A and B are shown apart, each in its own frame.
Chain A
Amino acid sequence: AQSVTQLGSHVSVSEGALVLLRCNYSSSVPPYLFWYVQYPNQGLQLLLKYTSAATLVKGINGFEAEFKKSETSFHLTKPSAHMSDAAEYFCAVSDPKNTGKLIFGQGTTLQVKP
């Protein structure tokens, strides 16, 4: 069965510092992997996706993630945090054979301090 683990339910960084949000997955088949962001009282917005092309994936708002099969990881990074990055971030995995279903991690709340 597929699963996703996000290490750290809360991450706090200073404005301008590196953002690193960790995600590990388990999957018996080559997965599709995603990062979503959720702002208060809103739905989820897709940040980036990995679908077996390049292992380093660039997304919106300066975020990127690297797929490492040997480590079963898909960590999200951003070189310099902005105040507007404060939100909850979800890593998700899908099985191409299990249509319409995303399996989400527990989420990581990113706090950005001025």
Chain B
Amino acid sequence: KAGVTQTPRYLIKTRGQQVTLSCSPISGHRSVSWYQQTPGQGLQFLFEYFSETQRNKGNFPGRFSGRQFSNSRSEMNVSTLELGDSALYLCASSARGVGEQFFGPGTRLTVL
């Protein structure tokens, strides 16, 4: 089975812009979770989608949003980018959202 894929791998944006990141889960997995990884805050949960519905949400501002499509692919959007949004964004998939998650390689976002 192919693993979790994320595109693009690297992004450079400027403050105030918006960005969309994409994640394709492992075939058959219906749950997709997103995480932000920074040196200062570590790994923090953003949100989880299951069958096109957001089931769980972390403590991030409304500028961070996401969606899931009928084929389980997910996108994450960040609007009005701030310097502090520079991070590695990781997507993870699981069969049901309970238990182990399988991670993609991440998208490295740099905000200038």
A interface residue numbers (CB < 8 A to B):
32, 34, 36, 41-46, 49, 51, 90, 94, 96, 98-107
Contacts and interface: CB of A to CB of B under 8 A. Distances in A.
Interface of B: 4, 6, 31-33, 35, 42-43, 45, 47-50, 55-56, 58, 90, 92, 94, 96-106, 108
Secondary structure call for the B interface: strand
B97 A44 contact: no
B99 A49 contact: yes
Contacts of A103: 45
A94 B98 contact: yes
B33 A44 contact: no
B39 to A, nearest CB: 10
Contacts of B92: 44, 102
Contacts of A42: 105-106
Q: Give the most central of A42, A45, A49, A102: most B CB within 10 Å.
A: A102
